[in-house]
Amino acid sequence: MIAHIIQTGDPVLRVKANAVEPAEILTQPIQQLIATMKETMEQAPGVGLAAPQIAESWQILVIEDKKEYHLNATAEQLKERERYPVPFHVIINPTLTIDSKEIVEFYEGCLSVAGFVAKVPRALKVTVSGLNEKAEPITIKARGWYARILQHEFDHLQGTLFLDRMLTRTFSTTENYFTYCC
């Protein structure tokens, strides 16, 4: 099932999402929600989706950065962003730790702020811990673009959007970004 992606201004994007009881993860409603999130992210398409973006206020993330999404970027852009393919995975009840004082600034967008992008400073390296879709503990150490995706998606579960972190004068329509910025 493909869900409607909620756009900025809806209060569901602005509250902290509820933690999932580990014992509930293997139940049909949560497994169905994860399947819907995967399909919705693929159809959009996007490299990450948080449950509040489909009006489900739960601490669940899905992430996948497919190689085919990199076709529009130059080799140089991929290199400077440290962007590599990331296989599909699920993170539930995540905690996030910043592992580096180094901050990198790149343009990013959000499926819930459709049609716009802005330059957002993010930590280069993070560690995320949580549970996967089988309720098993997982720890992810990431850097570069994957670390950016994790920070962006983790923010969604706190009610934070890239709009809160962006360099405001870089805020742009996606169309103007492609015309003027790259």
Angle at 135 between CA 125 and CA 94, to 5 degrees: 30
Query: Mask of contacts with Zn ion, 82-111, x by CB under 5 A?
Result: ----------------------------x-
157 binds Zn ion (CB under 5 A): no
Pull the structure tokens for residue 157.
Answer: 């579960």
Question: Active site includes 56?
Answer: no
> Considering CB under 5 A, how many residues would be counted as binding Zn ion?
1
Pull the structure tokens for residue 86.
Answer: 């990331």
47 binds Zn ion (CB under 5 A): no
Catalytic residue among 64, 108, 133, 153: 153
Nearer to Zn ion by Cβ, of 44 and 73: the residue is 44
Question: Rounded to the nearest whole angstrom, what is the least distance from the CB of residue 112 to Zn ion in the complex?
Answer: 5
Question: Rounded to the nearest whole angstrom, what is the least distance from the CB of residue 63 to Zn ion in the complex?
Answer: 11
The residue type of 111 is L
Contact yes or no for 29/77 (Cβ under 8 A) = no
Length of the chain: 182
120 binds Zn ion (CB under 5 A): no
Gap between the Cα atoms of 52 and 32, Å rounded? 15
| 3-class DSSP state of 12 | helix
Question: Rounded to the nearest whole angstrom, what is the least distance from the CB of residue 128 to Zn ion in the complex?
Answer: 16
63 binds Zn ion (CB under 5 A): no
Nearer to Zn ion by Cβ, of 61 and 92: the residue is 61
Contact yes or no for 64/88 (Cβ under 8 A) = yes
Pull the structure tokens for residue 147.
Answer: 């670390």
Q: Which residues bind Zn ion (CB under 5 A)?
A: 110
Q: Which residues are catalytic?
A: 153
